């Protein structure tokens, strides 16, 4: 019974977060000063080189508003949007790539963002925690101080500053990597995999370094405090080897808060990944967001931001459900 209540409460909170997030996503683009329908009509007229009659213009305006879910009162649009998103996950066609559906465009870009984000997040978390463990356990040594300074230096630097520095150093001063991402078309071959890794190195390095400093400082502080606990002192007096104390006693207990921090950091990492993708012209959700904002493409904005909300909330839910398995002091109740 306790397990069912625990899961039900967490899933309920998860659904509430999704509902609130998607609701905010619906209203925010409508506060933008630009009207996507008027902009689209102006673009059509400039391309065609002629002006439509008032009757034809009004008919086109009504058709487009109905097509993109912008017809009727704000409340009517909201309920229609909630129904489409929660029941069919349909965001309608893209304004800038009509008649291609938004969901199809997102499914094309999503693997690039997920692959970049998952790889860099895990690398940053694993390496950062290992470095922080060494810095905290051997805090009196000079090497540990150097590692701590590395974390202090990297932690406050924003994603975009790291990205610009890496671009200047490794794409301009020393042209080792390309300024923008260029992926070869065609099926997945060894050559294409190498091309993907080559083009993804700088965006990936940016995200790894951005999360590296926090993981070092967090684990260093936890390891330093944990090594002073009574059970660690008792193990040391019993003659347990220092390496075993560091891994079995200090690391296992200091890791639990870092698991929680991993779930909480996914939100900031996701936003940083989108910004990094824009700077490196990486073919993920970041470019879709930039295009959607520039063209007032409501449907594309809804789709990309909703995917971000779902990804962050789902990661937090997964950690929340698995955390009692990692910490025996927590029970499903």
Answer whether 0.75 is exceeded by the pTM. Answer: no
CB 95 within 8 A of CB 105: no
Same-domain check for residues 8 and 81: yes
Q: Is residue 130 part of a domain?
A: yes
Same-domain check for residues 178 and 240: yes
105-122 pLDDT, tens per residue?
Answer: 888 888 888 888 888 888
Domain edge (last residue) among 88, 123, 152 = 88
What average pLDDT does range 121-134 have in this prediction?
Answer: 85
Highest mean pLDDT among 46-50, 63-67, 143-147 belongs to 143-147
Same-domain check for residues 164 and 265: yes
Same-domain check for residues 49 and 130: no
287-301 pLDDT, tens per residue?
Answer: 788 777 777 677 787
Same-domain check for residues 168 and 301: yes
If residue 235 lies in a helix (H) or strand (E), which one and from where to where? helix 230-237
Same-domain check for residues 202 and 235: yes
CATH number assigned to the domain comprising residue 280 = 1.10.3720.10
Number of structural domains found in the chain: 2
Location of structure tokens 């390309």: 178
Q: Is residue 58 part of a domain?
A: yes
Domain edge (last residue) among 64, 88, 112 = 88
Q: Is residue 25 part of a domain?
A: yes
Same-domain check for residues 58 and 120: no
pLDDT tier at 269, thresholds 50, 70, 90: low
pLDDT tier at 322, thresholds 50, 70, 90: confident
Lowest mean pLDDT of 3-12, 32-41, 93-102, 244-253, name the range.
32-41
What average pLDDT does range 309-316 have in this prediction?
Answer: 80
C-alpha closest to that of 23 among 69, 71, 70, 85: 85
Same-domain check for residues 148 and 24: no
Q: Is residue 129 part of a domain?
A: yes
Same-domain check for residues 28 and 108: no
Query: d(Cα 259, Cα 229) in Å, to the nearest integer?
Result: 20
Domain boundaries, position 70? 2-88
If residue 64 lies in a helix (H) or strand (E), which one and from where to where? helix 54-67
Lowest mean pLDDT of 128-142, 164-178, 214-228, 314-328, name the range.
314-328
- 52 pLDDT more than 70: no
- 66 pLDDT more than 80: no
Share of the chain above pLDDT 90, in %: 0
Same-domain check for residues 163 and 276: yes
CB 160 within 8 A of CB 275: yes
Same-domain check for residues 301 and 156: yes
Same-domain check for residues 80 and 108: no
Q: Is residue 152 part of a domain?
A: yes
What would you report as the CA-atom Rg of the chain, rounded to the nearest whole angstrom?
Answer: 25
Domain edge (last residue) among 53, 88, 123 = 88
């Amino acid at each position: 019974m306790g397990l069912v209540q625990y899961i039900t409460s967490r899933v309920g909170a998860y659904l509430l977060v999704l509902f609130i997030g998607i609701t905010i996503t619906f209203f925010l683009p409508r506060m933008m000063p630009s009207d996507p329908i008027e902009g689209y009509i102006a673009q059509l007229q400039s391309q065609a080189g002629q002006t439509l009659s008032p009757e034809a213009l009004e008919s086109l305006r009504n058709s487009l508003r109905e097509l993109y879910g912008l017809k009727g009162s704000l409340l009517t649009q909201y309920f229609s949007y909630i129904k489409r998103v929660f029941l069919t996950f349909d965001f309608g066609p893209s304004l800038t790539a009509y008649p291609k559906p938004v969901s199809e465009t997102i499914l094309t870009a999503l693997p690039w963002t997920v692959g970049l984000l998952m790889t860099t997040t895990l690398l940053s978390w694993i390496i950062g925690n290992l470095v922080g463990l060494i810095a905290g356990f051997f805090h009196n040594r000079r090497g540990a101080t150097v590692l701590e300074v590395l974390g202090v230096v990297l932690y406050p630097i924003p994603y975009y500053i790291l990205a610009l520095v890496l671009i200047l150093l490794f794409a301009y001063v020393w042209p080792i990597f390309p300024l923008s991402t260029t992926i070869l078309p065609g099926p997945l071959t060894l050559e294409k995999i190498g091309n993907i890794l080559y083009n993804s190195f700088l965006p990936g390095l940016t995200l790894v370094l951005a999360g590296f400093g926090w993981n070092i400082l967090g684990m260093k502080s936890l390891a330093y405090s944990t090594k002073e606990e009574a059970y660690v002192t008792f193990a040391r007096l019993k003659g347990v080897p220092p390496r075993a104390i560091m891994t079995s006693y200090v690391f296992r207990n200091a890791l639990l808060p870092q698991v929680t921090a991993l779930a909480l950091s996914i939100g900031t990492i996701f936003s940083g990944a989108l910004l990094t993708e824009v700077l490196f012209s990486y073919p993920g959700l970041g470019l879709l967001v930039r295009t959607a904002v520039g063209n007032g493409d409501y449907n594309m904005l809804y789709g990309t931001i909703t995917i971000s909300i779902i990804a962050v909330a789902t990661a937090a839910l997964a950690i929340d459900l698995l955390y009692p398995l990692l910490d025996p002091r927590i029970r499903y109740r």
